[in-house]
Amino acid sequence: MEAQFIERYHSHQPSEHQCSSSLVKHIKAPVDIVWSLVRRFDQPQKYKPFISRCTVKGDLTIGSVREVNVKSGLPATTSTERLELLDDEEHILGIRIVGGDHRLKNYSSVITVHPETLDGRPGTLVIESFVVDVPEGNTKEETCYFVKALINCNLKSLADVSERMAMQGGVLPVSVTWSSSNQIET
C-alpha cells in the first residue's frame, strides 16, 4: 500500500545536486481529523512545532503565498511558501518554498493522508516527501538528515494533536451510539 501511494503521489525527480526522500507516519485518529489539520495552508502552526506565526496573501487557492515565522533557536526566522496543490478529494497538499532567510533552496513537498485501520479502529497513514537543493558546502546525506529530522518532528506533532482531537471527540461505547441513533431514525 505504502509503496503504491509513494509511487503515485511522491515520485520526485531529483537532479544531481538535489536530495529527496519520503517519510511515513501512522496516526491513531480518523483521516478527517488529520486532513482537517493538514489542509490548513493558512495555519501550519496548528501542528508544526517550529512555526510561531503565519500570514497568507491571497484567497487560499493554488498560488497563494504564506509568510511563515520560525521560532527562535533554528537556523532561520522566515520562510515564504506557495500553495501548489490542494486536493480535498484525494487528500493531497503540495507546497513550494519560494523565499526566506534559510538554506533550503528549491524545496518542494507533498503530504498525503490515507485512511487505514489500526488496532481495529479508524486510523490514518500519512506520507510526506520532499525534494531540495543540496546547499554549497553540504553533502546530500547532511541535507536529507536535516530535513527529515524537521519533518519527523512535524509528523510526530501532527499525530499528537490529531490523537488528542480524536479522544476529545468523546466517542461513546459502540452499543450506546448504535441504540441512540437507531431510536432517532425510526
- Residues lying near ligand A8S in the complex (CB under 6 A) are found at 48, 50, 70, 74-76, 79, 97, 100, 102, 104, 109, 147, 150-151, 154
Q: In terms of CB distance, is 21 or 124 closer to ligand A8S? A: 21
Give the nearest distance from C-beta 174 to ligand A8S in angstroms.
37
Give the nearest distance from C-beta 42 to ligand A8S in angstroms.
14
Distances (CA, A) of 3 to 11, 22, 45, 162: 11, 11, 29, 24
Give the nearest distance from C-beta 58 to ligand A8S in angstroms.
18
Q: In terms of CB distance, is 108 or 124 closer to ligand A8S? A: 108
Give the nearest distance from C-beta 5 to ligand A8S in angstroms.
18
Question: In whole angstroms, what is the distance from residue 34 CA to residue 31 CA?
Answer: 5
Host H or E run for residue 17: none
Question: In whole angstroms, what is the distance from residue 108 CA to residue 133 CA?
Answer: 10
Q: In terms of CB distance, is 76 or 165 closer to ligand A8S? A: 76
Q: In terms of CB distance, is 33 or 128 closer to ligand A8S? A: 128
Give the nearest distance from C-beta 150 to ligand A8S in angstroms.
4
Q: Taking Cα atoms as reference points, which of 126, 118, 124 lies closest to residue 154?
A: 126
Q: Taking Cα atoms as reference points, which of 151, 150, 148, 129 lies closest to residue 73?
A: 150
Give the nearest distance from C-beta 88 to ligand A8S in angstroms.
19
Question: In whole angstroms, what is the distance from residue 95 CA to residue 106 CA?
Answer: 11
Q: Which residue has the cell 537543493?
A: 133
Q: In terms of CB distance, is 28 or 102 closer to ligand A8S? A: 102
Asked if 85 and 62 count as a contact pair (C-beta separation under 8 A), the reply is yes
All cell numbers assigned to 184: 432517532
| CA contacts within 13 A on the Cβ side of 40 | 15
Q: In terms of CB distance, is 6 or 122 closer to ligand A8S? A: 6
